[in-house]
Structure 1
Amino acid sequence: MSDMLFPGLRDFERKASPKNQVARMHQPLFLFQAKDDSKVPLATTERFVELLRETNPRVTFQTVETGDHYDAMIEQGIPAGIRWIKETMDSN
């Protein structure tokens, strides 16, 4: 149905999917997720992180217990990401 409304959308989604881009992701990466995320299952992210680490040892994955999808990102994920960026820049 979505391809009828937006021709080429399925092909774009497949090509743009992060899991189809893993081989190109060699830069340091920071991923963050709350364990109680109601939008993306933690197991899905953990599998993605494992896939990334097969070709990129510079992957940092941080979790927190609660905060769901949005609040955890705002309250804990963004500050953690900023700290990670500073630490990554300082080590180079």
Structure 2
Amino acid sequence: ADRDRVYTVGHGSAASLALRAGAELEQVKAIVAFNPITDIDGRISAFRRELRQIDRRAIVILRESSPLEHLLMLRTKPVFLFHSVADEAVPVAESARLALALKPGVDTSRVMIVPTGGHRPAMLEQGIPAALSWLDDLADPQPASHAAR
């Protein structure tokens, strides 16, 4: 195993967990997040409307899972953030908000917003290939002199 190539990857709510794990675990070198949920309070409100009651401990756990709670550490690692404007499950505004919050982060981070594809198809067709290419570039960066040629 290559200890320099430990990454976390997730989609939707799992992307939020990938971001949290990547922020908290030193051995994680990069994070790939497809359509992450960042508006935890909005989700809690929706749960309350549907379930009428949520355990307070669950609310604490949900809030702690927000990538926005881990910005200081996230800004120290490369992050590939992908979202489709046509996502019907997670509004693209959630990734836009996270992208702005990560702005002072490392130079190798990348944000990719695509206009079509919905929640899952965009990730499969565009996001995964782009993320794999990004991870390859991280693993084998080209010197600036070669990139200019």
What TM-score do the two structures reach when normalised by structure 1? 0.86
Equivalent of 1:82, from 132, 136, 141? Answer: 132
1:40, distance to aligned residue in structure 2 (A): 1.8
Root mean square deviation of aligned Cα: 1.5
Please give the alpha-carbon distance, in whole angstroms, between the structure 1 residues aligned to 2:114 and 2:101: 21
Q: What CA deviation, in whole Å up to 9, does each residue of 1:1-32 have, x standing for no partner? A: 121xxx61110111121111111111111011
Matched AA of 2:73: R
Residue correspondence of structure 1 range 1-92 to structure 2 within 5 A? 1-3=53-55, 8-25=57-74, 26-54=76-104, 56-58=105-107, 59-91=109-141
Stretches (4+) displaced over 2 A: none
Matched AA of 1:37: D
Matched AA of 1:90: D
Please give the alpha-carbon distance, in whole angstroms, between the structure 2 residues aligned to 1:13 and 1:75: 30
Local SS of the residue matching 1:38: coil
How many residues align structurally? 88
What TM-score do the two structures reach when normalised by structure 2? 0.55
Note the residue ranges of structure 1 that are not aligned, 5 or more in a row: none
Please give the alpha-carbon distance, in whole angstroms, between the structure 1 residues aligned to 2:54 and 2:128: 33
1:38, distance to aligned residue in structure 2 (A): 1.1
Q: Which has the higher contact order (CA 8 A, sep 6+)?
A: 1
Please give the alpha-carbon distance, in whole angstroms, between the structure 2 residues aligned to 1:82 and 1:74: 12
